[in-house]
Amino acid sequence: MQQRTAALALVAMMAGGGTLNALGTSPAVRPEDADIRALLASGIERSVTFRELNTRLDNGDVTVYVRFSPCSGGVPACLFWAGAGAGPRRLLLKLDRFGRSPDELTALLAHELQHANEVASATDIIDLASFQKSFAIHGRKHGAGYETEAAAKITRQVAKELAAR
């Protein structure tokens, strides 16, 4: 498994020019376990859009911690404000893995990484209140939170790219 992940990382780096760490993932995206690392490496290798999302995050001041965990409200993936301090702004991304294929999980991960990029591009998001306010202004109310059209579009694009591979 480690050899496959390393090979995927090398291919993705050569193909996309993105920055990858020794684990084959973006330095700004911190997976909690090996399964998430493999999902990230596969997404970076197989989807140009997924790779671009990671590269943009690498050029910003946001760190995204990713874990497999259910979200409230029955949504399959969600993003939370985790804090800010002297370093990068920190976000927690949760994916509910149960009953979902790797391609579906990758598309959901891309969706939430788009939201992370929305945070990265909004320098006025500095705490939980401004995080919530920004999504309330720029998104639309959706079940347990807010949704943006850009994230919905990314989900469809990444799913299409994965299906073509």
Higher local confidence (pLDDT), 3 or 110: 110
Instruction: Flag whether pLDDT at 7 surpasses 70.
Output: no
Instruction: Flag whether pLDDT at 9 surpasses 50.
Output: no
How high is the pLDDT of residue 84?
81
Scored b (16 or more CB within 10 A) or e, 138-151 reads ebeeeeebbbbeeb
How high is the pLDDT of residue 26?
74
- Read off the pLDDT of residues 139-164 as tens digits, 9 standing for 90 and up: 998 877 899 999 999 999 999 999 99
**And the tokens for 117?**
């990029």
**And the tokens for 141?**
């109310």
How high is the pLDDT of residue 157?
98
How high is the pLDDT of residue 143?
77
- Read off the pLDDT of residues 84-130 as tens digits, 9 standing for 90 and up: 888 899 999 999 999 999 999 999 999 999 999 999 999 999 999 99
Number of domains within the chain:
1
Strands (E) across the chain are located at 29-31, 62-68, 77-83, 89-95, 140-142, 145-147
Cα–Cα dist 68/2, whole Å = 20
The residues, ordered by sequence, that sit 6+ positions from 90 with a Cβ below 8 Å of its Cβ are 62, 63, 64, 65, 81, 82, 83, 84
- The C-alpha angle 17, 41, 152, rounded to 5 degrees, equals 90
Q: Which domain holds residue 154?
A: 2-164
Instruction: Flag whether pLDDT at 17 surpasses 90.
Output: no
Instruction: Flag whether pLDDT at 1 surpasses 70.
Output: no
State whether residue 82 is helix, strand or coil: strand
Q: Using 50, 70 and 90 to split pLDDT, how confident is the model at 35?
A: very high
Q: Using 50, 70 and 90 to split pLDDT, how confident is the model at 16?
A: very low
The mean predicted confidence, pLDDT, of the chain is 86
Token pair 């919530």: residue: 132
